Amino acid sequence: MDLRFSAHVYFLLLLLFCSLLIAVALYFQFAVGLEPCPLCISQRIMVIAVGLVMLGAVLHRPGPVGTRAYAILGCLVALGGAAISARHVWLQHLPAEEVPACGPGLEYMFRYLPLGETLKAMLTGTGDCAKVDWSLLGLSMPAWVLICFIGLASVSLAQYWNAGPRSDDPSW
């Protein structure tokens, strides 16, 4: 029994996984009451960006060359998200005296600060980002998101080699 799937199916599964990640983030924000910090918002944006790449791949149904392009693009965007998550995990493991000062809320920053300063805070984090509000199996939420980004990047890149047409796959 052959359990291989076409790249199209994998792109669809990655899109659904990104949707699940955003749904979980919204659950923690609105049902549990955890307010996202600037780095959390940046990670959400990157999950959505990966999801949009996957949506493009699903809707486009490219041939082998296009599939490889979507695979590389999806991997690069996911690695960008992994870098943001890694920064977040790093901030959470800093000694208390090295944690950057807490900044104003994101809404305040967008309203009153220059866009460049707001974007810098969203990518580098503030003292708010160092606080661990939730953990599972000893890993904070940003650590789990980092693992998810690495998985997204890996499965997306694997489609580079899964891109060729196979005689037993009618979807190509």
Is 168 a domain residue? no
pLDDT in tens, 69-96: 999 999 999 999 999 999 888 888 777 7
pLDDT in tens, 5-59: 788 889 999 999 999 999 999 999 999 988 888 888 889 999 999 999 999 999 9
Is 50 a domain residue? yes
Give the CA distances from residue 147 to residues 21, 27, 83, 86, 106, in Å, rounded to whole numbers and listed in that order. Answer: 12, 19, 11, 10, 25
The tokens describing 130, both together, are 């160092």
Is 170 a domain residue? no
For 116: left if phi > 0, alpha if psi spans -120 to 50, otherwise beta; the answer is alpha
CATH number for the domain that contains residue 18: 1.20.1550.10
- pTM of model > 0.85: no
Is 27 a domain residue? yes
Total tally of structural domains belonging to the chain: 1
Is a pLDDT exceeding 80 seen at residue 113?
Answer: no
Is 47 a domain residue? yes
Could you list the residue range(s) of the whole structural domain that residue 124 is in? 7-161
Is 166 a domain residue? no
Is 123 a domain residue? yes
